[in-house]
Amino acid sequence: MPKINFFTEDTNYTLKGKNAVKKWISETILAEGYQLAELNFIFCSDDYLLRINQDFLEHDYYTDVITFDNSEELKTILGDIFISIDRVKDNAKQNGATTFDELCRIMIHGTLHLLGYKDKSKKDKIDMTAKEDLYLEKRNKA
């Protein structure tokens, strides 16, 4: 049975509407032609994610999301998405969004990475943002 799980590390954030979020993420994965094996969202602090960034990616800066693809089969999602709730809250304030809406943007961003989307080049970033907007709109209509 495919699973989407939510965990916390070094933060006390509680996601509201978990079942609706699970449904939305699952539908996104299916719409992109992938199957879901297991996807873990780990909500954490800035410091916790910084340590992951340093230890695994050798980057020494804060970020809002780090995605690990653990799948061994094509078109199958098996991964971990670490999200800094501190960054999400700051981003929400800067963007005039709610924390929940910003968190959903970051969650779909991490999921899109697992679906093969990149964001390093300007064109890739534009394409990924368009996909984020598309799936956020679908979430809002659900």
Over the stretch 49-86, which tens digit does the pLDDT of each residue have?
A: 999 999 999 999 999 999 999 999 999 999 999 999 99
Q: What is the DSSP letter of 120?
A: S
Indicate the pLDDT class of residue 140, thresholds 50, 70 and 90: confident
Per residue in 5-17, pLDDT tens?
A: 999 999 999 999 9
CA 45 to centroid of chain Cα atoms: 15
Q: Model confidence over 86-126: pLDDT tens digits? A: 999 999 999 999 999 999 999 999 999 999 999 999 999 99
**C-alpha span between 16 and 33 (Å, rounded):** 27
Q: 1 or 41, which is more confident?
A: 41
Residue 90 burial (10 A CB sphere; 0-12, 13-18, 19+): middle
**Helix (H, G, I), strand (E, B), or coil: what is residue 84?**
strand
Pairing of strands 65-69, 35-44: unpaired
Name the phi and psi angles at 98, rounded to 5.
Answer: -80, 160
